């Protein structure tokens, strides 16, 4: 089969479109023909060596395709079925996994990080990762769902305990996880303040349901939040940007507010004045992907049409280098998809 692999860390030039052996599924695995694989910033970090993915390595976490072979130990799935893949790996036998807390498993990881991912034509995966999709959901759209919608759901519901009527600040509403977060927050009848970097992205955030939009390049986020909320601040800050926005995120919280973070796109080193945290009784929560139960829960809303994936642009798999360059320019609104 054809796949995009890297044999060393570096820029987009290290990505090779090459022949690799077809995977041989075990009797407890499903062989899936990949139709679409959506990109995430993890792909760039893996390519640069930030995550120390093993080499040679096939990136790609968000996969949709068709089943071409079902292991003899598996029931409930059939050849030709249209599916997406849960974007994580876990042992499925430890105390956390058997309790339904897969993202606390010692072996938990993102598909395409420690293991080869979906930038290829065929994948052999455990049956637990395979989820049928409705006929009305295209492969590009299906591949744009799993990682970002699961992450947003776990952050807002699983960690921050989102409630109707709250005010939520969502950073980077043009990103995949930001687009998911705006929709999840509006699903629960909250007021959403979103940030974006230009007029096109700001308009896109409004179309998703954001009540207020801040240009994070030309406006001071905390000042705008105070103006919009009549100096009260927000209940929840949805943070994934990191160093560039951290101070503004903290300043935007109301007393007893919650900041929940899942990443650090602009850098992990941030400063915290503990006096400000304890005197205002702030909560700072970490969040990592989510559980299988949460994935199935959020997918119900996607399959019913209440939550909608947004595809910015699709590239042929052989143009993965160009797709990586495009992502690093941060010009997209929505997901970038690779098609084998």
pLDDT in tens, 43-88: 999 999 999 999 999 999 999 999 999 999 999 999 999 999 999 9
The 8-class DSSP code of residue 323 comes to H
CB contact at 8 A, 242 and 271: no
Q: What is the pLDDT of residue 212?
A: 98
Over range 296-323, report the average pLDDT.
98
**pTM for this one?**
0.96
Q: What is the pLDDT of residue 197?
A: 87
Q: What is the pLDDT of residue 339?
A: 98
Query: Is pLDDT of 266 > 90?
Result: no
Question: Comparing 99 with 265, which gets the higher pLDDT?
Answer: 99
Q: What is the pLDDT of residue 330?
A: 85
Digit-coded pLDDT (tens) for 185-202: 999 999 999 999 888 999
Over range 131-141, report the average pLDDT.
97
All structural domains of the chain, each given as residue ranges with its CATH number in brackets, are: 2-145+309-339 (3.90.180.10), 149-286 (3.90.180.10)
Query: Is pLDDT of 156 > 90?
Result: yes
Measured CA angle at 24 (ends 291, 71), to 5 deg:
65
Among candidate residues 152, 189, 153, the one with its CA nearest the CA of residue 172: 152
Query: Is pLDDT of 265 > 90?
Result: no
């Amino acid at each position: 089969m054809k796949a995009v692999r890297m044999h060393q860390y570096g820029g987009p030039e290290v990505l090779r479109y090459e022949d690799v052996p077809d995977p041989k599924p075990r009797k407890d695995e499903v062989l899936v023909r990949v139709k679409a694989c959506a990109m995430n910033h993890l792909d760039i970090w893996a390519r640069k060596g930030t995550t120390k993915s093993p080499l040679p390595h096939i990136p790609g976490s968000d996969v949709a395709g068709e089943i071409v072979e079902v292991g003899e130990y598996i029931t409930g799935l059939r050849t030709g079925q249209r599916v997406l893949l849960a974007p994580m790996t876990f042992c499925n036998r430890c105390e956390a996994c058997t309790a339904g807390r897969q993202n606390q498993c010692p072996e938990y990881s993102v598909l395409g990080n420690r293991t080869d991912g979906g930038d290829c034509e065929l994948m052999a995966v455990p049956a637990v990762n395979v989820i049928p999709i409705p006929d009305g959901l295209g492969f590009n759209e299906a591949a744009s769902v799993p990682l970002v919608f699961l992450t947003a759901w776990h952050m807002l519901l699983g960690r921050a305990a989102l409630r109707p009527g709250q005010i939520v600040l969502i950073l980077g509403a043009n990103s995949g996880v930001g687009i998911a977060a705006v929709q999840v927050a509006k699903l629960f009848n909250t007021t959403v303040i979103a940030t974006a970097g230009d007029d096109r992205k700001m308009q896109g955030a409004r179309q998703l349901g954001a009540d207020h939009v801040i240009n994070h390049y030309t406006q001071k986020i905390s000042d705008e939040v105070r103006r919009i909320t009549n100096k009260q601040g927000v209940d929840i800050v949805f943070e994934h940007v990191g160093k560039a926005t951290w101070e503004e995120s903290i300043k935007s919280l109301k007393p007893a507010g919650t900041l929940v973070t899942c990443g650090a796109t602009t850098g992990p080193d941030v400063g915290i004045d503990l006096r400000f945290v304890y005197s205002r009784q702030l909560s700072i929560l970490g969040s990592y992907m989510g559980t299988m139960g949460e994935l199935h829960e959020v997918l119900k809303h996607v399959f019913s049409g209440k939550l909608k994936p947004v595809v910015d642009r699709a590239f042929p798999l052989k143009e993965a280098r160009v797709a990586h360059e495009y992502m690093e320019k941060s010009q997209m609104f929505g997901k970038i998809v690779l098609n084998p």
